[in-house]
Amino acid sequence: MPIPDFLRALRTTAGHQLLWLPGVSAIVLDDDGRVLLGRRSDTGQWSIIGGIPDPGEQPAAAVVREVYEETAVHCVPERVLLVEALEPFTYPNGDVCQYMDTCFLARAVGGEARVNDDESLEVGWFELDALPPMQRFALTRIKQAAAGGPTWFDGITGER
């Protein structure tokens, strides 16, 4: 997985210690109600699309950029689905990060889904009732999108 330049520079002094970082993710739906997923090159697992905003980049702009960079799909964010602090994650190189994820519901408006960088092994559209195995992180966000309820905040609106 490519590491943003600002994070690479920070790691030269921070080492592998825990870094608290912003993250964005997207549930991108097409006109047929299918969800866009990518099979990650770092874990081999299917997941929703996401990444790290650049310094000063607005979260909605970051999610549009990440979706296009990874899948060649153009999207328009429609609303915030949820905001959640994730558990710390240790990368294979020993770097530890914990993300504050802002997940958007987005609508695909153009492009053809394909692998567009080295972060994904495959990308594709999936029916909501025919999803591949995924981690709770992704399934929770897809469930929130399908439910159509208000923005979900952990610890405020109750159990998932």
pLDDT of residue 92: 86
Task: Residue 77: name the closest of 87, 86, 85, 68 by CA.
Answer: 68
pLDDT of residue 1: 56
Q: Give the sign of the dihedral formed by CA 111, CA 113, CA 116, CA 117.
A: positive
pTM above 0.75, yes or no: yes
Distances (CA, A) of 66 to 26, 157, 160: 9, 28, 27
What count of other Cβ atoms lies within 10 Å of the Cβ of residue 77?
21
pLDDT of residue 156: 64
pLDDT of residue 76: 98
Task: Residue 17: name the closest of 101, 98, 131 by CA.
Answer: 98
Q: How far apart are CA 27 and CA 101, in angstroms?
A: 13
pLDDT of residue 160: 47
Query: Chunked in runs of 10, what are the mean pLDDT values of the chain (160 residues)?
Result: 84 95 98 97 93 96 98 98 94 93 98 94 97 95 92 66
Tokens of 139: 């399934």
